[in-house]
Amino acid sequence: MKEIEVKILDIDREELIEKLEKLNATKKYDLIVEDYFFKCKSGEVLRIRKIGSQVILTHKSQREKNTSIKQRTETEIMSNDLDSSIEFLEKLGFKKQSKNIKRRLKYEYKNSEIVFDKYFGDKDFIPEFIEIEAESKQKIIEIAKNLGFTENDFFSGSTKDLVEKYKKN
């Protein structure tokens, strides 16, 4: 599956929720998400994500270069147990690199996802932001426009890039 997404920073949560409701977007969940990242080949990502009772193991290929929107190939499998999944990867020789905990509010709109993410713990200084994930760059631009944003508002960086942007002095 191709992952095509963009972040939009410096948002007004209540205003965006109101716009999404007016657009008849469907609220899917509001949950705590745990992400565990493992050392992988340069540019690739290996992650275990726990959302509610669901556990998802994800491999993400290197990002496509020179694009304002993050694009990469993503492969996912489901698991029944977080601890067993972590143990499995560690037994294969992968080293746990980091853990992120965030609150995620997810909406679906026009076969796309709009999520609000707010980090906790050692990354709680990063302000809440949204991600728009869709089947194409054009669809992301259309949804962003419906929410009052333009391509100039897009941020295609990673969590690491967000840390660098907002880190405490």
CATH code of 2-166, in short, is: 2.40.320.10
Q: How high is the pLDDT of residue 169?
A: 52
Place 132 in a pLDDT band, splitting at 50, 70 and 90: very high
Q: How high is the pLDDT of residue 49?
A: 96
Mean pLDDT of the 79-85 span: 94
Q: How high is the pLDDT of residue 42?
A: 77
- Beta-carbon count within 10 A of 78 CB: 9
Q: How high is the pLDDT of residue 66?
A: 65
Residue 133 has pLDDT above 70, yes or no: yes
**Is there a contact between 61 and 46 (Cβ–Cβ < 8 Å)?**
no
Q: What is the pLDDT of residues 84-113, one digit of tens each?
A: 999 999 999 999 999 999 999 999 999 999
Q: What is the pLDDT of residues 22-43, one digit of tens each?
A: 999 999 999 999 999 998 877 7
Task: Give buried/exposed letters for 108-141 (b at 16+ CB in 10 A, else e).
Answer: ebeebbbbbbebeeebeebebbbbbbbeebebbb
Q: How high is the pLDDT of residue 39?
A: 86
Listed by start position, the domains of the chain span 2-166
Q: How high is the pLDDT of residue 84?
A: 95
Q: What is the pLDDT of residues 39-64, one digit of tens each?
A: 887 778 899 999 989 999 999 888 87
Mean pLDDT of the 104-131 span: 97
What rounded mean pLDDT belongs to the chain? 93
Q: How high is the pLDDT of residue 146?
A: 97
Give the pair of three-digit tokens for residue 107. Answer: 């909406």
Query: Apex CA 64: angle with CA 102 and CA 150, to 5°?
Result: 65
How far is Cα 101 from Cα 108, in angstroms, rounded to an integer? 22
Q: How high is the pLDDT of residue 2?
A: 81
